[in-house]
Chains A and B, each alone.
Chain A
Amino acid sequence: MPEISILCPTGHLGFTPLEPASFRAGCALKPNFIIADSGSCDIGPYPLGADGQASPAAWQRHDLEIMLLEARRLGVPMIIGSASDTGTDRGVRQFADIVRDVAREHGLAPFRMATIFSELTREQVLGRMQAGTVVKGLDGRPDADAGLIGRTDRIVAVMGAEPIAAALRSGAEVVIAGRASDCALFAAPLLNAGMSPATAYYAGKLMKCASFCCEPFMGKESIFGRISEDDIRVTAMHPGQRCTPASLASHAMYERRDPFREYVASGHVDMTGVRYEQWDEKTARATGARFVASTQPMVKLEGAGKVGERRLAIVGIRDPYTIENIDKAMAWARARLAERFGAPEDAGWTVYYHAYGRDGVMGSLEPTPAMRPHELGIVVETVCQDAKRAEEICALAARNLFYARLAEVKGTAGAAALMSDEILVGKPGYEWTLNHVLPVRDASELFRTESTVVDGTSKKAA
Chain B
Amino acid sequence: MRNMPTLRDLASTIRSKNAGVDHITFDLIFKERSNFERVRDSACSARSASPSSIASRANG
A residues with CB within 8 A of B = 41-42, 45, 138-141, 215, 246, 249-250, 253-257, 259, 302, 364-365, 367, 432, 435
B residues with CB within 8 A of A = 12-13, 17-25, 27, 29, 31, 49, 54, 57-59
Contact of A42 among B18, B27, B57, B59 (CB under 8 A): B18
- Given A255-B17, A255-B25; A246-B31 close (CB under 8 Å): yes
- Given A140-B59, A367-B49; A255-B18 close (CB under 8 Å): yes
A contact patch SS: loop
Contact of B57 among A45, A140, A215, A365 (CB under 8 A): A365
The 9 A-B pairs at the shortest CB distance, nearest first, are namely: A139-B22, A432-B21, A250-B29, A257-B19, A255-B17, A255-B19, A257-B23, A250-B13, A246-B31
Q: How far is the CB of B47 from chain A (nearest CB, A)?
A: 12
Q: How far is the CB of A144 from chain B (nearest CB, A)?
A: 15
Q: How far is the CA of A180 from the CA of B54 in the complex (A)?
A: 31
Contact of A41 among B21, B24, B49 (CB under 8 A): B21
Q: List 26 A-B contacts (CB under 8 A).
A: A41-B20, A41-B21, A45-B21, A138-B22, A139-B21, A140-B22, A141-B22, A215-B12, A246-B12, A246-B13, A249-B29, A250-B12, A250-B13, A250-B27, A253-B27, A253-B29, A255-B17, A255-B18, A256-B19, A256-B25, A302-B21, A365-B57, A365-B58, A367-B49, A367-B54, A435-B20
- Given A140-B59, A365-B58; A246-B29 close (CB under 8 Å): yes
Is A138 a contact partner of B20 (Cβ separation < 8 A)?
yes
What residues on B are CB-neighbors of A435 within 8 Å? 20-22
Closest to A364 in B: B57
